[in-house]
Amino acid sequence: LVVFDLDFTLWPFHVDKLKPPLKPTGDGGALDTEMSSIYLYPGVMDILQFMSQHFLLAIASRVEDIAAAYQLLHFCHISSYFPLKEIHPTSKSTHLRRLQARSGFDMSEMLFFDDDKRNIRDSTNIGVQAIQVTSGLSWNIVTEGLFLFSHSIITNSIH
């Protein structure tokens, strides 16, 4: 199971800082009431298309404005890539435990991408392989994550 945070991982903003109502632009983005353009990081759509062909994908996002997060997933044309979504203002460890219960995957079978160092620490403490995203999701980060994840699975199977 490959899990993604939203804010500063898939897109370069905090959902809770946007000014609703949001309106779709028709080209995979949105505008808020201040006419701020809202788009995914470059390359994210291609990454999600590839990853969804090989892995089950999920969202784990701690936001207050849950409706806006779901709207943006729809407006950015990526909602369908994520059959599992945990979007609510609780801890990432709670999100990941709920995803584990819903998916049937063990924590050690999850790979999690997030920008927040605290979330990386909390998720590794419960046995999830976590990768910090520093400037938006990229192919380099995904490749690093998949390499570390495959290495941890091999290491765990030997012990």
Q: Which helix (H) or strand (E) holds 52?
A: helix 44-54
| 5, 114, 115, 122: the active-site residue | 5
Q: Is 27 a catalytic residue?
A: no
Which position among 7, 114, 115, 122 bears the catalytic label?
7
Whether 16 sits among the annotated catalytic residues: the reply is no
State the Cα–Cα distance between residues 23 and 4, nearest whole angstrom.
24
- Dihedral of CA atoms 122, 91, 132, 141 in degrees, nearest 10, equals 120
Burial of 148 (0-12, 13-18, 19+ CB in 10 A): middle
Active site residues per annotation:
5, 7
